[in-house]
């Protein structure tokens, strides 16, 4: 049974190689951003992996264009906020606080409008959630009709970059990635079996040849 150790070695080598390829390709992470990382008044741009933001600052909780609620992302000087994602998104979610309501517009990579979501005003200091599922989302725009201030938080999306920085509340491997890896390892095992069987066949053939009369 000399072929068995060889089979194990072949299986381990093939599996390790395949796992390295899958992991090096980058794993998609479900990323949720908490904007309470930076000091109040800090302009938020590219501090968080997977998304670029314009028009947003870390809220100070004092109003005046820097947000009503500390630990959130506020619209700077009561203007709009834009988010551009490093990879196309099928769904983006989050929470918001806006005394006069909020409008979210989702755009594709070519600048085409995918979806518009109109949100109601949030009473008092309460927050509400939002969700945009417009397909292949490249950019989001947040605006109020009157230019009033608003606050955003807990923005969730899929980050397909290899690494992630900033405050990330959750990172979980996508089920599709795990399935791909499992399928690949299964295939690697089959490859190992085939190679071991071929080696065993060659060994038997050599023994048979040596036993033939001259």
- pLDDT at 162 > cutoff 60: no
Examine the domain organization and report whether 44 and 11 are in the same domain. Answer: no
Which backbone phi and psi does 43 adopt, to 5 degrees?
Answer: -75, 125
What does the pLDDT look like over 8-42, one tens digit per residue? 455 455 555 544 544 444 455 789 998 888 888 89
Examine the domain organization and report whether 112 and 197 are in the same domain. Answer: no
The larger pLDDT score, comparing residue 111 to residue 176, is at: 111
Examine the domain organization and report whether 89 and 195 are in the same domain. Answer: no
Examine the domain organization and report whether 77 and 118 are in the same domain. Answer: yes
Examine the domain organization and report whether 13 and 38 are in the same domain. Answer: no
Q: In this structure, are residues 115 and 139 in contact, taking their beta carbons and an 8 Å threshold?
A: no
Examine the domain organization and report whether 167 and 183 are in the same domain. Answer: no
- 3-state SS, one letter per residue, for 153-203: EEEEEEECCCCCCCCECCCCECHHHHHHHHHHHHHHHHHHHHHHHHHHHHH
Examine the domain organization and report whether 47 and 144 are in the same domain. Answer: yes
Examine the domain organization and report whether 59 and 142 are in the same domain. Answer: yes
Structural domain count, the chain: 2
Examine the domain organization and report whether 141 and 183 are in the same domain. Answer: no
User: How far is Cα of residue 41 from the mean position of the Cα atoms in its chain?
Assistant: 27
Domain extent at residue 105: 30-172
The larger pLDDT score, comparing residue 61 to residue 109, is at: 109
The larger pLDDT score, comparing residue 168 to residue 158, is at: 158
Examine the domain organization and report whether 80 and 121 are in the same domain. Answer: yes
Rounded to whole angstroms, the Cα distance separating 47 from 122 reads: 28
Residue among 140, 27, 149, 159 nearest 86 (CA)? 159
Examine the domain organization and report whether 205 and 144 are in the same domain. Answer: no
Strand ranges for the chain from DSSP E: 29-33, 43-44, 51-54, 56-58, 73-75, 81-89, 92-98, 102-107, 113-119, 128-132, 137-143, 150-159
Examine the domain organization and report whether 201 and 151 are in the same domain. Answer: no
What is the residue-averaged pLDDT of the chain? 74
Q: In this structure, are residues 44 and 50 in contact, taking their beta carbons and an 8 Å threshold?
A: no
Look at residue 87 in the predicted model and tell me its pLDDT: 94
What does the pLDDT look like over 85-140, one tens digit per residue? 999 999 999 999 998 899 999 999 999 999 999 999 998 778 899 999 978 999 99
Between the two ends of the chain, the Cα-to-Cα distance in Å is: 28
Q: Provide the whole-model pTM.
A: 0.64
Rounded to whole angstroms, the Cα distance separating 40 from 8 reads: 57
How many C-beta atoms surround the C-beta of residue 141 within 10 A? 17
**Domain with 80 in it: what CATH number?**
2.60.120
């Amino acid at each position: 049974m000399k072929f068995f150790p060889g089979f194990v070695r072949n299986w381990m080598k093939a599996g390790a190689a395949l796992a390295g390829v899958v992991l090096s390709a980058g794993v998609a992470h479900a990323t949720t951003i908490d904007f309470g990382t930076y000091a109040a008044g800090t302009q938020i741009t590219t501090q968080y992996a997977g998304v670029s933001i314009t028009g947003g600052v870390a809220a100070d909780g004092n109003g005046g264009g820097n947000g009503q609620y500390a630990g959130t992302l506020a619209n700077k000087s009561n203007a709009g906020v834009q988010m551009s994602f490093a990879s196309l998104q099928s769904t983006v979610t989050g929470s918001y606080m806006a005394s006069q309501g909020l409008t979210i517009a989702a755009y594709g990579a070519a600048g085409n409008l995918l979806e518009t979501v109109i949100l109601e005003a949030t009473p008092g200091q309460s927050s509400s959630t939002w969700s945009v599922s417009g397909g292949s989302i490249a950019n989001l725009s947040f605006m109020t009709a009157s230019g009033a201030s608003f606050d955003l938080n807990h923005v969730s999306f899929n980050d397909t970059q290899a690494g992630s920085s900033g405050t990330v509340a959750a990172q979980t491997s996508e089920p599709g990635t795990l399935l791909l890896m499992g399928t690949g390892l299964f295939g690697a095992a089959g490859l190992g079996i085939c190679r071991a069987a071929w080696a065993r066949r060659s060994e038997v053939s050599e023994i048979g040849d040596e036993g033939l009369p001259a």
